[in-house]
Amino acid sequence: MSNISSVSEFLLLAFTDTRELQLLHFVLFLGIYLAALLGNGLILSAVACNHRLHTPMYFFLLNLALLDVGSISNTVPKAMANALWDTRAISYQGCAAQVFFLFFLFGSEYSLLTVMAYDRYVAICKPLHYWSLLGSRACAQMAAAAWGSGFLYSILHTATTFSLPLCQGNAVDQFFCEIPHILKLSCSDSYLRESQLLIFSAFLTIGCFVFIVLSYIQIFRAVLRMPSSQGRHKAFSTCLPHLAVVSLMVSTGMCSYLKSPSISFPSLDIVIAVLYSVVPPALNPLIYSMRNQELKDAVRKLLQYMLLKHP
């Protein structure tokens, strides 16, 4: 335990040592961060203010937007501050908080995406039972279960990781605190417990992904049997964005945590980390609004109201 107390801070991986490039990274991250806040903020406001969007699908989308705001706020502001002030340090407590919120938010988001697949399955394959299966109470319980599972998942990983003695220095080979890189600093064989937890998590992730895929197989079968082309178009417009978000999240996350150590080097690790921690929260609002006319109309009305109210 003395080794743990001796580590009061960690040193994060810098994108570059060149000052001009550090400032460029700050500007790029600032642009992505503001875009994510704007996009998700518009979705939150549009869903909350438009009574026509008070349906299970948009309730879950509102929760997804909240999680996206949290996930990008967990890593990007610290990375921007380090780039702006030319520093690499993060406190031990700050690192633990980053790991906790990383797993909490991503675990909750993945659980929520699984729930959203069930929502689309019931809406398209069992439309007559939709409101009985997905009433307001059921939706609240499923959303709470998604957030709660992420919380428990995060507590388990964070407590296990930060109970390990560290004796391999304090340099983390990533621009934010990430468990695989912290495990490299451990001098105890007990790190195998956390490695096993990560493998178990990967199997859970695959299990949820299989559930989502099976749901969509049933959905596509039902959609292809629809006699109306307009009905097929509406069904695809609500399903394809969700499938795109799931694919983006799973592919980038699995690449980060399951890639072979033999092909792990800092620049590749940073690219993959940006792809799974920074890009999805910024792209999700675009993906969900691109083919969703109801959401686009609600956002347009919201912007018109804001512009007329504050000319």
The number of C-alpha atoms within 13 Å of 87 and in the hemisphere containing its C-beta is 9
The number of C-alpha atoms within 13 Å of 196 and in the hemisphere containing its C-beta is 6
Beta carbons of 176 and 195 less than 8 angstroms apart: no
Question: CA angle, corner 41, sides to 39 and 42, nearest 5?
Answer: 65
Min mean pLDDT across 83-92, 187-196, 285-294 is at 187-196
The rounded distance, in Å, linking the Cα atoms of 280 and 273 is 11
pLDDT attached to residue 208: 86
The rounded distance, in Å, linking the Cα atoms of 115 and 159 is 27
The rounded distance, in Å, linking the Cα atoms of 97 and 152 is 14
The rounded distance, in Å, linking the Cα atoms of 112 and 118 is 10
**What's 177's DSSP letter?**
-
pLDDT attached to residue 269: 79
Place 145 in a pLDDT band, splitting at 50, 70 and 90.
very high
Task: Quote the mean pLDDT of the chain.
Answer: 86
In this prediction, residues 243-260 reach a mean pLDDT of: 74
Residue predicted with more confidence, 81 or 2: 81
For the chain, domains (ranges, CATH) are: 2-309 (1.20.1070.10)
Whether residue 212 is predicted with pLDDT greater than 60 in this model: the reply is yes
pLDDT digits (tens, 9 = 90+) for 8-57: 889 998 888 888 888 999 999 999 999 999 999 999 999 999 999 999 99
Question: pLDDT above 70 covers what percent of the chain?
Answer: 90
In this prediction, residues 300-304 reach a mean pLDDT of: 87
| 120-126 LR contacts (CB < 8 Å, sep 24+) | 120/57, 120/215, 120/216, 120/219, 120/238, 120/239, 120/242, 121/215, 121/216, 121/218, 121/219, 123/57, 123/238, 124/219, 124/222, 124/223, 124/235, 124/239, 125/218, 125/219, 125/222
Beta carbons of 192 and 32 less than 8 angstroms apart: no
The rounded distance, in Å, linking the Cα atoms of 55 and 271 is 37
CA–centroid distance for 228 within its chain: 35
pLDDT attached to residue 5: 46
pLDDT digits (tens, 9 = 90+) for 171-209: 998 899 988 888 888 876 655 666 677 677 777 778 888
pLDDT attached to residue 1: 41
pLDDT attached to residue 192: 66
Min mean pLDDT across 83-92, 119-128, 137-146, 232-241 is at 232-241
Q: Which of 143, 72, 79 is nearest to 105 (CA)?
A: 72
Place 169 in a pLDDT band, splitting at 50, 70 and 90.
confident
Q: Which of 17, 110, 101 is nearest to 60 (CA)?
A: 110
pLDDT digits (tens, 9 = 90+) for 54-70: 999 999 999 999 999 99
In this prediction, residues 92-107 reach a mean pLDDT of: 94
Pairing of strands 89-91, 9-11: antiparallel
CA–centroid distance for 241 within its chain: 15
pLDDT attached to residue 133: 93
Residue predicted with more confidence, 217 or 16: 217
- State the first-to-last Cα distance of the chain, in angstroms, to the nearest integer: 60
Q: Which of 310, 311, 309, 305 is nearest to 49 (CA)?
A: 305
Place 2 in a pLDDT band, splitting at 50, 70 and 90.
very low
Question: pLDDT above 90 covers what percent of the chain?
Answer: 44
pLDDT attached to residue 173: 86
Q: Which of 162, 24, 55 is nearest to 99 (CA)?
A: 162
The rounded distance, in Å, linking the Cα atoms of 266 and 160 is 25
pLDDT digits (tens, 9 = 90+) for 112-123: 999 999 999 999
pLDDT attached to residue 3: 43
